[in-house]
Chain A
């Protein structure tokens, strides 16, 4: 039910986020993440940091040789996440998920965590805000 609620309420934002709007978020995420470098990883949740100014969650990603890299993903601030139905129990350590976002500008294994897909196909949008658009036809 929670997943359905999240999908419904956030579906309209994510279209904006990934099509018409450059990734410009609130707490200077435009300065932190590179919108030309989309990231999509699949792995196991290692840790969730439920802290300000934004939650962070960490995913252990295994490559073809079996080496594990821990990726960090930034989401919404805790207060905003809670009010959108994403609580600290939404994402559980040990769970397998797919995360999409944009890589940190310093090239480290950190990224914005915009779309989170669970093994059963449910999607939540821990990094999505309704941002509006920048009209391309303005003089």
Chain B
């Protein structure tokens, strides 16, 4: 009799337990962070940032290489997107920059380096309009695909924009050269701290910090020292943290955290800016399609 009651009880609770298990496995999802507003300094643009929403999975394992390191190989939507992880790859490209709320006060003279009011000279106001490099750190906010290719001793990051801008990063924590000529990509070296990849960059040319602004542009100096910290946090989602130390501009370093979302279906396309830049600087060139026969 007791046995029969136990059997009945078992079958009575089975359906709800099974439903809960299915719900947990397939329906429950979590947001990696809060919806928040990001505004650029100097009355810049504001944008609502939506964190990635990921399905809960019980059996996810961090991708790893043969030598046991976290494997970041793949094509990503980076910080230049509002992310929504789902079956339809619906990440949305956005035009955003670093968050003014996170930045500490500037040093005397620092603000004149950081913010350049609109001049009328596109090389200052909007260099990418001249097909010049976006450069690092602007490249962080590229609203295009980026491809990470990881080998045991090197990481290669290829961006679709601008002109397939690429970074080749040794992962052996070698010292930076002491006589660096500043470049748009700077000099990067990487090392591992547990499952976190740390990339240290110096040697940057004084150039755009992030993205176009309504009334000017933001810049970092040639003293910028940038440390990126990258780690897997969920299926398809990587935490991407940027620590900026620019002693010519700010009174102390600051850090902002973003997400990158892996897109297995994406491919990086060729991007040649000069190919058909028809209205550069506001003067349009007539296309063959517009010429009178």
Question: Hey, which bits of chain A sit against chain B, CB under 8 A?
Answer: 5, 9, 13, 22, 24-28, 30-33, 46-47, 49, 51-54, 56, 58, 70, 72, 74, 77-80, 82-84, 104-106, 108-110, 129-135, 138
Contact = CB atoms under 8 A, between A and B. Distances in A.
A80 B214 contact: no
B160 interface: yes
Most chain A CB within 10 A, of B88, B125, B161, is at: B161
A78 B268 CA distance: 11
Given A77-B144, A133-B45, A110 B289 contact: no
Interface of B: 39, 43-48, 82, 88-96, 122, 125-126, 128-129, 131, 143-145, 160-161, 212, 214, 266, 268-273, 275-284, 286-287, 289-290
Nearest to A5: B88
B214 A77 contact: no
13 contacts: A24-B45, A24-B214, A26-B212, A31-B125, A49-B276, A49-B287, A74-B279, A77-B161, A79-B145, A79-B269, A83-B91, A131-B47, A133-B46
A58 B278 CA distance: 13
Contacts of B92: 9, 13, 130
A31 B144 contact: no
B212 A105 contact: no
A30 B95 CA distance: 13
A83 B197 CA distance: 28
Contact of B282 (A58, A70, A79, A105): A105
Looking at chain B's contact residues, the main secondary structure is loop
B44 to A, nearest CB: 8
Contacts of A28: 122, 126, 128-129, 212
Which 3 pairs between the two chains have the least Cβ-Cβ distance?
A28-B129, A132-B47, A51-B276
Given A53-B271, A134-B45, A31 B266 contact: no
A27 B94 CA distance: 13
B89 A58 contact: no
B46 A106 contact: no
Contacts of B273: 52-53
A128 to B, nearest CB: 10
A3 B54 CA distance: 26
B212 A30 contact: yes
Contacts of B270: 52
Given A106-B282, A110-B284, A130-B94, A53 B43 contact: no
A109 B290 contact: yes
Contact of A132 (B45, B268, B272, B280): B45
B269 A78 contact: yes
Given A24-B212, A30-B126, A134-B43, 8 more contacts: A26-B143, A28-B126, A47-B287, A53-B277, A72-B290, A80-B143, A130-B95, A132-B45
